Amino acid sequence: MKLITAILKPFKMDDVREGLSDIGVTGITVTEVKGFGRQKGHTELYRGAEYVVDFLPKIKLEVAVSTDQLDQVVDVIAKTANTGKIGDGKIFVSDLEQVIRIRTGETGADAL
Amino acid sequence: MINAKKNTSINKGLVGGLFAISAMTMPAISHAEDVLNSGDTAWMLTSMVLVLFMTIPGLSLFYAGMVRSKNPLSVMMQCFTITCLITVIWVIYGYSLAFGDGDAFVGYLGKAFMAGVGVETLSGTIPESVFAMFQLTFAIITPALIVGAFAERMKFSAMLWFMALWVTVVYAPVCHWVWGGGWLGDQGVLDFAGGTVVHINAGIAGLVCAIVLGKRKGYPSTAMPPHSMVLTLVGAGMLWVGWFGFNAGSELAADGTAGMAMVVTQVATATAALTWMFVEWKIHGKPSALGIASGAVAGLVAITPASGYVGPMGALAIGAASGLGCYIVAVHIKRALGFDDSLDAFSVHGVGGIIGAILTGVFADAALGGVGLEEGVTIGGQVWKQMIGIGATVVYDLIATLILLKIVDLVIGLRVTGDEESEGLDIALHDERGYNL
């Protein structure tokens, strides 16, 4: 099992969600985060006081998948989140040791 | 409908005295009988409410939105408390110092505890009670404006002491000089609704406070953007609406002058707002909400002294001048000079008040659409009188504010500790959060 963590531009969230839904991924977790990579911040101006805001709002998406689903899911995320501009984000893949469904106690692949 | 006044000797004497004074000082105006006029009274009852609304919640919101999210309560609490504190002071002795019979510099204590002001007592065509309350709202907003200069770093206890002393030693006397029968009014200084008494006063005191208290921790290198521009814009709108009580209400009557005051207030404000917005758009690339709101306030301030004397064209000029002038000071000069007048009490109220006071002398002239200058006074002559008013207020205010601050500092200290400032005044001074999200 694998845990996919993706950092995305917030306005692409809807496209990614639709794409995942189309391939049968039914559960995701989304967090609002801030960050930067190569994308420059923006300037805000208040009565002559200019502030460069480095941290940009992003969405962190986490989804647990089975190993054989991995490539397809990563592919869908990468395609739907892509705008071609700097700041599109990154996808991290890590090993997932165990998954438990709280309601039923199912574990492993049954819990995905 | 005119109410018949009670036929007592005190009332006769009072009314007779008021009639004599008004006949001597305002020969052109035919308030021939000092009888209660219910139209005037209704308007003034409303005006008082409008001006109170300017402080709570207008100015409170305007300022609260501009501070960081850890400090909005501190600012709102300061405005709210000032409202209460000055009310009590006014009723006990403030009204008397400002408007009681006295000398050229201050009223004496003849009206302390509002002595002689009863249900039937008149001031002109309105009850003196209403007049006193209307004037109270001015005495409230002036110290509340100063809050903007020392926001986010002043001790609450020190603020209370300072404001009580300042209203006593600075506001009441200066008010007396201009409106209460004192020397500036006698000189012919024109200040219809408080450009000098309120705005220059607050602005200069604010500047002194900003310098004496020192800069906020981290200013100017740390980002300190307004935490809620939404609140600020709401507050700005409330200020604009309430200001019609401030300016048109200063006529103390529901008449043509009040109507024209309304016109010039609206025109100057809109012009100043657009001016600031367009200048900022040109220089920085985008028009901003804070810019247009600040411009509007600058216009409101500048038209204040002129509101009963100038015409619509004068209002356009005053609006443009204040929109541009206050922008330059707030955005460029303040940063260059390095003082932390956090919410621009000086840049907008001080500078706007000065611009307005000077231009009042110009645009009051009949040739420029105004009501006309006094017999034999030229524009140059009137502007010179305006400068005397400005100069006297600035010098007195500066020195007195400095002394009062030093005294309060010595006795209890003015500024919060570094830790309190970092934590935020809402928690540190009031054990409260503005937002429990």
How much is the ipTM here?
0.72
What pLDDT, on the 0 to 100 scale, is given for residue B33?
59
What pLDDT, on the 0 to 100 scale, is given for residue A52?
82
Look up residue B332 and give its DSSP letter: I
Residue of A nearest to B220 (CA): A49
What kind and span of H or E run contains A60? strand A56-65
Look up residue B347 and give its DSSP letter: I
pLDDT in tens, B56-68: 999 999 999 999 9
Q: How many CB atoms lie within 10 A of CB B149?
A: 30
Please say if the pLDDT value at position B318 is more than 50: yes
Nearest-by-Cβ selection for A47 from B223, B286, B294? B294
Cβ–Cβ below 8 Å for A46 and B226: yes
Q: A42 in contact with B at a CB cutoff of 8 Å?
A: no
Provide the β-strand partners of residue A92. A5
CB A5 within 8 A of CB A92: yes
pLDDT in tens, B188-234: 999 999 999 999 999 999 999 999 999 999 998 888 999 999 999 99
What pLDDT, on the 0 to 100 scale, is given for residue B5?
41
Cα separation values, B224 from A37, B65, B196, B211, B243, Å: 24, 12, 31, 19, 29
Nearest-by-Cβ selection for A48 from B226, B286, B332? B332
pLDDT in tens, B66-109: 999 999 999 999 999 999 999 999 999 999 999 999 999 999 99
Q: Quote the percentage of chain B above a pLDDT of 70.
A: 92
What pLDDT, on the 0 to 100 scale, is given for residue B130?
98
pLDDT in tens, A17-33: 999 999 999 899 999 99
Please say if the pLDDT value at position B25 is more than 50: no
Mean pLDDT for chain A?
Answer: 94
B1 band by pLDDT with thresholds 50, 70 and 90: very low
Nearest-by-Cβ selection for A48 from B225, B286, B330? B330
Exposed/middle/buried for B2, CB within 10 Å: 0-12, 13-18, 19+?
exposed
CA distance B242 to A89: 49
CA distance A63 to A6: 9
A51 band by pLDDT with thresholds 50, 70 and 90: confident
Provide the β-strand partners of residue A51. A44
Interval B235-252 mean pLDDT: 98
CA distance B217 to B221: 9
Q: B223 in contact with A at a CB cutoff of 8 Å?
A: yes
pLDDT in tens, B117-168: 999 999 999 999 999 999 999 999 999 999 999 999 999 999 999 999 999 9
Per-residue b or e along B336-357, where b marks 16 or more CB atoms closer than 10 Å to that residue's CB: eeebbbbbbbbbbbbbbbbbbb
Phi then psi for B320, rounded to 5 degrees?
Answer: -60, -45
CA distance A107 to B227: 46
Cβ–Cβ below 8 Å for B330 and A47: yes
Asked which of A61-65, A83-87, B305-309 is least confident by mean pLDDT, the reply is A83-87
Interface of B with A in 314-353 (CB under 8 A): 330-332, 334-335, 344
